[in-house]
Amino acid sequence: MAKTLYQLLNIPESADDQQIHRAFKGIERHLLKREDDAGIDTLNRSREAFVILSDANRRIAYDRKLAASRLPQDLSPPATINRHPVSPWLQRVAIAALLLFPIGSWLYHDHQQTKQQAELERIQNDKAIAAAELLKNQREQALRENQQISAQYQDEQAAKRAEMELRLRQQQLDDARILTEQQLQNQAHGLDLMEKRLNTDARAQEQNIAERQAELQYQKPAMAMDLQEQKDQHLALQRQRSLKQHDENIASINSLRAARLKAYDRDHGNGGIMTSNPAVDP
């Protein structure tokens, strides 16, 4: 008797699609290594069986055909009881059972397909939920990254502004220091010019005095005494003027220095900076 498709795959008739698939893959792995005709023929028949049984409609048609082919054998009386006829109700029960078997097989396969479809839908829903969750996580991560980038950009901008303010303040301090140095140089130059003028005037007066002394050498001692007195008075007056001018110059320098220190302390007193600036100290 020829083997059925189930026997070719070595599976029961109630096997589901996964069992059919696993059975065929096992036979295929085993027979692909063989190169003889018998192995190739068995592999081809197993492949045909798999193609038929893996299709639900073709499997139902094959089950009906298989049940119909078994019907005469089941209804034929055994050889030992040929002299006793089979009762009609038993034949009806056997025929009904054989007719109901394909229907039950079809219902079973339909139930399996519905179950597999429901499982597939559940898997697809799980995948959709996982994809939505992944998309949500990606969006949250992108939002966090954007927030981090924005915070970093704000920090960089704040650092740049602070650096620019620091450079501007340093430039102002440098300008103030240069201006103070220039003013001090101008004051020193003015003092030098004044001192030179005073020295020139003193030399001129000394020369005049020397000339008058030379003229008065031949005059009376009284005139010599008057001249000496005038000379002393002139020298005293000259010393007073020099001291007064020197005091005025010192007062002007101190006033300028105090104003610069006050401006420097006003700008940097709140930041914990010392109230004296070496750049403007003498």
Q: What is the pLDDT of residues 61-85, one digit of tens each?
A: 999 998 888 765 444 444 444 444 5
Judged against a pLDDT cut of 60, whether residue 15 lies above it is answered with yes
Q: Which residues of 137-162 are buried (b: 16+ CB within 10 A; e: fewer)?
A: eeeeeeeeeeeeeeeeeeeeeeeeee
Read off the tokens for 208. 């005049």
Contact 24, 9 (CB under 8 A): yes
Supply the pLDDT for residue 139.
79
As a whole number, the mean pLDDT across the chain is: 79
Of the candidates 63, 27, 30, 65, which has an alpha carbon nearest to the alpha carbon of residue 46? 27
Supply the pLDDT for residue 51.
92
Judged against a pLDDT cut of 80, whether residue 215 lies above it is answered with no
pLDDT-above-70 percentage for the chain:
81
What domains appear along the chain, each with residue ranges and CATH number? 5-77+87-120 (1.10.287), 166-268 (no CATH)
Q: What is the pTM of this model?
A: 0.30
Supply the pLDDT for residue 50.
92
* Over residues 247-255, mean pLDDT: 89
